[in-house]
Chain A
């Protein structure tokens, strides 16, 4: 059993896997990686199952010392990582020796970077998942963001690695395929359950307007700034479930996108919903990013998801170098 020690936690670093489904009746939201595509690929690069837990870093990465040799990979945004002072490329696996330190800095692209290690980060599961649910302080490492001095256990390696008997080969993502999975600033949306409540002109304006991500953008939701949507003032409606990526128009007419650690129910009208294939893009949005919405049909949304899943499942996505 190996371990990783947190020398510096970065801005907000949590243990995340693909989340916990099925606890809606208790008011527990799914949580899980904000950019699940990056976490899944990171796990594949180090030979883990896609559902294994890794570290999710936000805007500014941390420094980690390895108490054992292991195979690791960084995915998501480029946080300018170095291993013992030598630059490490994202989207490719690399070997770490006992005692070495991996340092990350501020982001050079989007909001989140993932560190995956062979064997996965091991925590006591809560409702079947290692995901940290920050709001309720549950799951992950003691239910909170990592702090200096935390020591995280790494699971036993299942695949070939330095400590195993098989020879380890570096795996990397194909740049062509990666461009198809790159995070988007034009988010595709399907109609929301209350889109008809808004006048046609308002629905049109919603997709024609550009919006800016505000500082209030976190795992619970992303508050946007821009031209207010008229006609959304229906007061409080009867509270109902809210889906991942739902775009609600709050008082004042500005949109809020509900995200992985969302409240499970709410009482604002929802004009649209980000499609499943673009959810991972939300996880890479930073404050002040300019975004836009593009309407698509449910059939198109499904086609895009099928294409994305096909690409993620394909052998050629990840090759040995």
Chain B
């Protein structure tokens, strides 16, 4: 029998119509898998009166109909699902590649990030595209995936004050995370480049290109290739 990792599951009301399930207080692959398994089970066998689910690094926020449920009752019900998590088989992760044109006006923070780490922009690009990232969850805006973890040498604090406008497709880093902005939004992540790929589109079945649990690699492309793919 494999050794079981002991992670204390904690419940906490977030509002009068939502309840947190916390799987520890640390970002770990184990916590991520627990979140995914519970999400998977709750999507496969929905609880009547549960309205929405918000997965994150090591928590799942459950929004419910407050006329049907009280926190304590719902906790009891969710605990039944928790007892079955060990048996949940998660599907094989999908492997995706995202093309990125790094630097220049498409990646306005590349030079500064390189300067901060005292290496060349080329080395930053190499580092960023050298590893496979895990989609921990989607949040913030539609289709925004929190990808981790960055190689140690790339860990960078977010901008001191966020930009009012980050163009759609911008690839940014913050702390030990990286991600792609699906829409033009405000944002405080440091921008290394831009992808011509649409992260969230209404004309396809999976509206969001990425889903929780996917594995992602960034592939550097030239300015010309970026222009070509943008037209496509």
Contact = CB atoms under 8 A, between A and B. Distances in A.
Interface in B45-101: 51-61, 63, 66-67, 70-71
Which of A126, A133, A265 has most chain B Cβ within 10 Å?
A: A265
A273 to B, nearest CB: 4
Given A26-B142, A126-B202, A243-B61, A265 B56 contact: yes
Interface residues of B, number: 48
A309 to B, nearest CB: 6
Nearest to A126: B202
Contacts of B12: 193
A133 B51 CA distance: 19
Contacts of A243: 14-15, 17-18, 61, 63
A74 B211 CA distance: 41
Interface stretch (A46-54, A154-162, A234-242): A234-242
Contacts of B67: 305-306, 309
Contacts, number: 148
A203 to B, nearest CB: 16
B13 interface: yes
Interface stretch (B118-126, B133-141, B224-232): B133-141
Interface residues on A, range: 35 or more
A24 B185 CA distance: 18
Contacts of A276: 15-17, 66
A238 B140 contact: no
A298 B140 contact: no
Given A136-B200, A306-B67, A264 B16 contact: no
11 contacts: A24-B52, A193-B12, A238-B59, A240-B56, A240-B58, A241-B14, A241-B60, A242-B54, A276-B66, A301-B66, A302-B70
Interface of A: 21-28, 30, 126-127, 133, 135-138, 190-193, 236, 238-246, 263-266, 270, 273-276, 298, 301-302, 305-306, 309
Interface of B: 12-18, 20, 25-27, 39, 43, 51-61, 63, 66-67, 70-71, 137-144, 146, 175, 182-183, 185, 200, 202, 207-208, 211-212
In the A-B complex, the 5 residue pairs with the closest CB atoms: A241-B61, A265-B139, A241-B54, A273-B15, A301-B16
Given A25-B212, A26-B211, A243-B15, 6 more contacts: A21-B51, A27-B138, A263-B141, A265-B139, A266-B139, A276-B66
